[in-house]
Amino acid sequence: MNAPLNHPLPLLELDVLRTFVAIAETGSFTAASNSVFRTPSAVSMQIKKLEDQLGRPVFVRDARSVTLTSDGEMLLTYARRLLALNREAVSKFVMPDISGVVRLGSPDDFGERVLPSVLKRFAQTHPAIAVDVVIDQSANLRKRMAARQLDITLMTCTEDLTHPGVEILLTEPIVWAGAKGGCAYMREPLPVSLWEEGCAWRAAAVKALGSLGRGYRIAYMSAHTAGQRAAILADLAIAPLPKSFIADDLVELGAKDGLPELGNYRIGMAVATDASAPVKAAADHIRAAFDMFNETGRF
């Protein structure tokens, strides 16, 4: 529907477009409401206003999902461009002097699951700061940090040890993960998939199985989360994982399945003592991301 030539076109609000993009990316009004810090009803009102302005629907809703209409797909392209242009313009005035390179270390699991979304948002708010990422085991990342090869590093920490100079960002239960409908947990000896020595999840699993007196064999070993998931999904083994890693294709196993509790693990962050302004900005951004996870369960 074309607007009359003598009638001014409506101005799309960036705040409404931000909500629209959040819904398109999460596929859920509820999930989007968490990311934009609004109530679900407020999010619904924003989208109604947007659709009223455009004179056509942008989403198809049913009881289980939210999908874009063809007009919504077209709008998504424009919305992302408008939001990106706004961020670029504002950053020129709000943070004109913060630029540089940040060397960031992360374990594989969080490098795969968390960093993409965290770094995407950081790039949007700090376009003049480049982040170079190193993925490695926590023990090696500590060594790189001590050698001043990194400015910031995330690392897994055992619950019963102190780590000087490390700020704890997250404490989370470790659970046994198995394939949905799988039977690996019933086999004897128990087939487990573990990381190499020095992994906090491995240490918790070995200690718990030893305390229970449960026989086990290492059926699969990988330092990468993708490899671990492949072994679980193939029902070759079960594995210790953070509770938040349990997705729709995995199930949490426990005492009812004859398995011991594994306790908690922690994610810590170390920052160089002589941190530059870009490094401090990146560290603050990571803290905020974990704060959001602690509140909403989502990064």
DSSP 238: B
- Name which of 38-42, 120-124, 293-297 the model is least confident about: 293-297
Query: How does pLDDT run across 176-235, given as a tens digit for each residue?
Result: 999 999 999 999 999 999 876 667 778 888 889 988 889 999 998 876 777 888 899 999
Question: Which whole-number Å values give the CA distances from 134 to 41, 104, 105, 203, in the listed order?
Answer: 41, 6, 5, 24
Phi/psi for 253 (5° steps) reads -105, 155
3-state class (DSSP) for residue 279: helix
pLDDT at 94: 65
Give percent of the chain with pLDDT exceeding 90: 45
* Domains of the chain and any CATH numbers: 14-94 (1.10.10.10), 100-169+266-296 (3.40.190.10), 171-264 (3.40.190.10)
Q: What is the DSSP string of 114-129?
A: THHHHHHHHHHH-TTE
How many other C-beta atoms can be found within 10 angstroms of the C-beta atom of residue 212? 14
Query: How does pLDDT run across 222-281, given as a tens digit for each residue?
Result: 767 778 888 999 999 999 988 888 877 899 999 999 999 998 888 899 999 999 999 998
pLDDT at 4: 53
pLDDT at 147: 96
